[in-house]
Every structure is written in structure tokens, then in C-alpha cells.
Amino acid sequence: MANDSTEKKPSVNADEGSVFSTVRNLWPYMWPEGRPDLRMQVVLALGALVLSKVATTLIPFAYKGIIDSLDGTDADSQLILGLAIPVVLVIAYVLGNVLDAAFQQLRDVLFAGVGQHAVRKLALETFHHVHRLSLRFHLARRTGGLSRVIERGTKGIETVVRFAMLNIVPTILEFIVVAIIFVWLFGVSYVGVLVVMIWAYLYFTIKASNWRIAIRRDMNESDTDANGKAIDSLLNYETVKYFANEKMEAERYDRSMASYEKSAIRIWTSLGWLNFGQAVIFYGGFLAISIMAILGVLDGRLTLGDFVLLNTFLMQVYRPLNFIGFVYRELRQGLTDIEEMFKLLDKDPEIQDKPDAKPLVVTGPVIRFEDVTFHYDSDRPILKGVSFEVPAGKTVAIVGPTGAGKSTISRLLYRFYDVTGGRITIDGQDLRDVTQESLRSTIGMVPQDTVLFNDTIGYNIEYGRPGASIDEVRQAAQMAQVGSFIEALPKGYETPVGERGLKLSGGEKQRVAIARTILKAPSILILDEATSALDTKTERDIQAALDVVSRNRTTVVIAHRLSTVINADEILVLREGLVAERGSHGQLLAQNGLYAVMWSRLRVATEDEEDLALAQEDPDGFVRRGARAAE
């Protein structure tokens, strides 16, 4: 049996040296397969980016021409022609800046669709994957923390995709172009200073950003923990109120937020030092090149326009250089944000369809457990060789003490887990050989703890068969003995049920669950302690509805209250993972074994409950009967 916790190298990692390999793994989101329109938008966005860089490169030459035409050394500078030249150059300078801005905005507009598609694709992929992960994973997860991981990841993917596609490579190309221009116009010495300055800037940026990754992870963990505590507390609002523990919950939340606050302060402090260090390195290089240019102007090798050209190029280098530092920081931060999501995506589902799995073909259906063994942990076996058969259209009930393995049987039937030994078949087909979708579409479940979606009653019933007509929904509700109750509500089937269905009573929720299962019309029905949490009267009403549902269906009843299984065709008594007794209700009583003891306890408990109810309804009559019984 596979395990969700299997360690393997993550496909997305924010650690040092993994940025480019990670970006390579993200390429499918940047260049989406099957979307030629989005790929064309990528091409056009890159084209707009190139044109923007061309305009950026030409702008300093227009600025140099303006300065040279106005420095007073040209005799024509007082003539009309001399006036026209700087005006034309100013127009060219302004036009270049306008085109630069236009092409940059066009790039962002064109790439918006690609970035948002990547967010949507990753979010959907994660949503699908989380639903494919095993029950074991979901029993251990924290809903609030998981939602925060997904939220940060979907935002981080757009940052990574946008910056990786539109900034890193073009900025490197811009550095190369500027270096060529420096060699051509000013000589190798200027390029040497430029290269040293750029190398020192990037080296410092990378090292400092890598150092900040650990702080970012701490902040994300604190954020996830705080959000998990908040969601958990809100989901258990009533329990918090029962024990008056609002203060304790607030203190737990504040401890997580205090850790987040500490990490956030460290993030901003480290960012301040990073920005300051980058400024020192850049302006150190700027100072060296400016002094060299001043000496060149003084000895006549350079013009005043050349000095301005150098400084303009340096400032234009600073913008992408500062931006590539920003891009690298954002990439590392984005990768830190999404690495937890990709760790989630890297988890293999514990239960997977075989490559040659076929849809389940139902003819009976007949369920058969053949020497089934199972454990959640290897040192704690749950089922130890359980064998039984549920004939087509018959009802088999499974009873036993708590921890005997009753609910495990329903989880194995749904294939939430695979057996560790033996096999389970439906009409002779091993559950491991058929598709999970076809298996689960064949089975209907009425659980003990019915949780409804925070939507309308009608939606929750229709969930059994999405797309069913309102007449079919009403018919299912009538069969579940909840139709009259729903229609008496002011909003009828449009009545919202609240979070987890908390606006309905336990019995009302169970009836809605039964209606949902009736609408699904499954071939196999599992009733997993469906009435154990209800009072006696409600249990009898619900049981009547369940009898209607299970008629002519292959049914497995997992029961806590034995009164719900007396009409079963066969009853299995589980004890410590083994079938201790089997037979009909009468046969098991005649054996005078474990079942008979459990039945005797149930009768005493039921009589006490009925006496209590009678005492509340007719206290005087109850006292008179008690006195006669004592005589």
C-alpha cells in the first residue's frame, strides 16, 4: 500500500541553484499546450518587449544629440537650422519614451491572458489533485492551512510566469547591447567597470535573496498556522461557546500571528538592507565611470554629449539592473509561495486506478469479502481475515463493539483504502481492477454524520444526481419523508441549510441525506450507523425511510443500535477484527453469545429511554405505574 508521505525531489523548489530548473518545470504554464491563441499572445508580448528595448536603447542617443547641439561649440547653433536640430531631437527623445511606455503596456496587456490562464490552470489542477488524494491525507490535513497554501500558490504562479517570461532574458539581452555600445563608443575600460559593477550587484542580490528565503518560509508557515487555527475555530464555533473558550482561541491565534509579525518585520528589515547594499554597489560603479568620463571630456576625447550619454545609459542600466534584482527577489518569493502547493501536487494518491482498469459491470450485485485483512498502521491490525457475502437484493448487517472494524468495511467498499490481504469483489470483479468512478457511482451512502453543503436544500438533494429535474428531487424528498417539511418552509427547496447543514436538525439532515441517496438510485447501499445519533422516535421515522430505500437493493448496514438490524437477512458480529458470530436476529439470540448480551443491554437502555419520555409526558401516570410495579 502506497503512502502519501513518500519522500521525493520536489518539482518546484525555492532553494539556491534551483530557480532555472524550476522555471523549466513551470514551462507548460507559460507556453500552454492546446492554446494557440495564448501562444500567439506570448509571441506578440515578446515582440512588444523587443520594440520597447529598441526604443530604450535609442533614447540616450537622442539625448546626447540634444546636449551636443546646445553646447555652443557649433557655429550653426544660432541659425534656424541650428534651432531645428535640437527641437527635432527633443521630439525624437519624447517619442522614444512614449513608444517605450506604449510597448511596455502592450506587453502587459497581451500577457495578462497567459498569466491568468496559468493561475486558473494550476488552481484547477490543484483542486482536482486534492480530491484525488487519499482519505488518510484528508484525515490529517487542516482545512484552513490547506486553503492558504493554495491561495498563495495561485498568486505566486502568476508572478513567476510573468517575470520569468518577460523580464529575465530580455534584461540580459539589454545588458549585452549596452556592453557592445560601451565598447564601440568608449572603450574596453568602461565596459570592465560596468561588468564588475553588474557582477557585484547580482552576486549581492542573489546571496541576500537566498538568505531571505528562510525568513519567507517562516512567515508562510506562521501564516498557514494562523489561518488554520482561525478556520478551525470558526468551524467549531458552537464548541468554543459551549466551553466559553473564546479567550483561549484568541490567544492561540495571536501566538501564530505574533510569529507571523516577527517574520514579516524581518522580511522588511532584510529588504531594506538589500536595497541599500544594491544602491551602494551601483553608485560606486556610477562614480567610477563618471570620473573616467569627466577626465575624457577635460582632455578632449569625449564631448559633453558623450558624458550625458554615458550617464543616461548608466541610469538605463540601473533600471533593468534594479529590476532584475527585484525580479530575482520576486521569483524567489514566488517560488517560496508555490513550493508548498507543488509539494502537494507532487504527492501521489494512495489509491489509483490501474492502467488497464475497466468500468464496474453490475449484474447482481453480489458483494463478497474473501479473507480480507487490513491495517491503518502495520502494528495495529483492524481486520484479520474477514469473509462474508451479501447476495443480490439482500441486506447484511454488521454489528459489534466500538473499534471492531465496522466502519472500516464501508471505507474498503468505497475503496478509500486498499485491502492489505485477501480481496473484495462485486459480481466477481476485484475492486482494485475497476475504475474508482464507476465503483463509487454504483454505491450510495447514508453516513452517521451527515454534512451538507452551504447551499439550498434543493441543491443538497440534487447533489445525488446533478442535473435531475425538480420533480425528481421532490419525489426523492417525499420517499425520504422530508418533502412535507421542505414544502412547509417559506423558501421551500431554496431554503439555505447553512455551514455543514447546521440550520437543520439531526433528523432533518439525515432525511435530506436519504433523499440524496434515493435520487442517486445506487445498486448498492451502505448505511453506516445512520441513526445512532438520533433519539428513539426520530430513529424509528428515519428507519422507515431507510427501509424504503434499501428495498430490493444489495445493502450493507453498519449499526450501533441493534434495533435497526433485526430484519436483516444476515447479521455479522465483529469482535477484534474477526467475525465472531453470524446468523439472523433470532438465530443469534438463540446462540446466547455476544449478540445476545448486546441485545439485552439495548433493551434495558431503550426501556429506560421510553420510561423517561413517558415521565416527561405524563408524570402522574408514570408514578402510579411505578408504584404498581413495586408492589
* pLDDT per residue as tens digits for the range 39-91: 888 788 778 777 877 777 777 777 677 676 666 554 444 444 556 666 777 77
Q: Are residues 309 and 382 in the same domain?
A: no
Does some domain include residue 4? no
**pLDDT value of residue 1:** 41
Q: pLDDT tens-digit profile of 370-398? A: 999 998 887 888 899 999 999 998 989 99
**pLDDT value of residue 76:** 47
* Residues paired with residue 525 on neighbouring β-strands, in sequence order: 444, 555
Full residue range of the structural domain in which residue 627 is found: 599-631
Q: Are residues 586 and 603 in the same domain?
A: no
Q: Are residues 246 and 334 in the same domain?
A: yes
Q: pLDDT tens-digit profile of 464-508? A: 888 889 999 998 888 888 888 899 988 999 998 887 677 888 788
Q: Are residues 574 and 517 in the same domain?
A: yes
Q: Are residues 38 and 165 in the same domain?
A: yes
Q: Are residues 44 and 181 in the same domain?
A: yes
Does some domain include residue 193? yes
**pLDDT value of residue 82:** 53
This prediction's pTM:
0.63
Residues 6+ apart with CB under 8 A from 541: 481, 507
**pLDDT value of residue 206:** 77
Does some domain include residue 416? yes
Burial grade of 261 (CB within 10 A; 0-12, 13-18, 19 or more): middle
Does some domain include residue 603? yes
Does some domain include residue 361? no
Residues 6+ apart with CB under 8 A from 448: 528, 529, 530, 532, 533
Residues 6+ apart with CB under 8 A from 13: 21, 22, 335, 339
What's the structural domain count of the chain? 3
Question: What is the rounded distance in angstroms from the CA atom of residue 43 to the CA atom of residue 38?
Answer: 9
State mean pLDDT over 107-122: 78
Q: Are residues 432 and 521 in the same domain?
A: yes
**pLDDT value of residue 20:** 60
556 secondary structure, DSSP code:
E
**pLDDT value of residue 617:** 53
Q: Answer whether 401's CB lies under 8 Å from 575's CB.
A: yes
Q: Are residues 299 and 187 in the same domain?
A: yes
pLDDT-derived band at 630 (thresholds 50, 70, 90) equals very low
Q: Is the pLDDT of residue 335 over 60?
A: yes
**pLDDT value of residue 452:** 84
**pLDDT value of residue 366:** 92
State mean pLDDT over 153-166: 68
Percent of the chain with pLDDT over 90: 11
Q: Are residues 539 and 613 in the same domain?
A: no
pLDDT-derived band at 5 (thresholds 50, 70, 90) equals very low
- The pLDDT mean for the chain works out to 77
Which candidate, 564, 490, 483, 561, places its Cα nearest to that of 518?
483
Q: pLDDT tens-digit profile of 549-559? A: 777 889 898 88
- What CATH number does residue 465 fall under? 3.40.50.300
The domain boundary residue, chosen from 291, 317, 346: 346
* Higher pLDDT among residues 244 and 142, named by residue: 244
C-alpha cell at 226: 494562523
Does some domain include residue 2? no
- What CATH number does residue 137 fall under? 1.20.1560.10
Q: Are residues 315 and 452 in the same domain?
A: no
pLDDT-derived band at 432 (thresholds 50, 70, 90) equals very high
Does some domain include residue 354? no
Q: Answer whether 554's CB lies under 8 Å from 363's CB.
A: no
Q: Are residues 241 and 317 in the same domain?
A: yes
**pLDDT value of residue 611:** 54
Q: Are residues 524 and 392 in the same domain?
A: yes
Phi and psi torsions of 443, nearest 5°: -110, 140
> What type of residue is 49?
L
Does some domain include residue 417? yes
pLDDT-derived band at 141 (thresholds 50, 70, 90) equals low
CA torsion, ordered 548, 553, 555, 561, to nearest 10 deg:
10
* Higher pLDDT among residues 333 and 176, named by residue: 176
**pLDDT value of residue 77:** 46
C-alpha cell at 236: 467549531
**pLDDT value of residue 88:** 76
State mean pLDDT over 596-608: 72
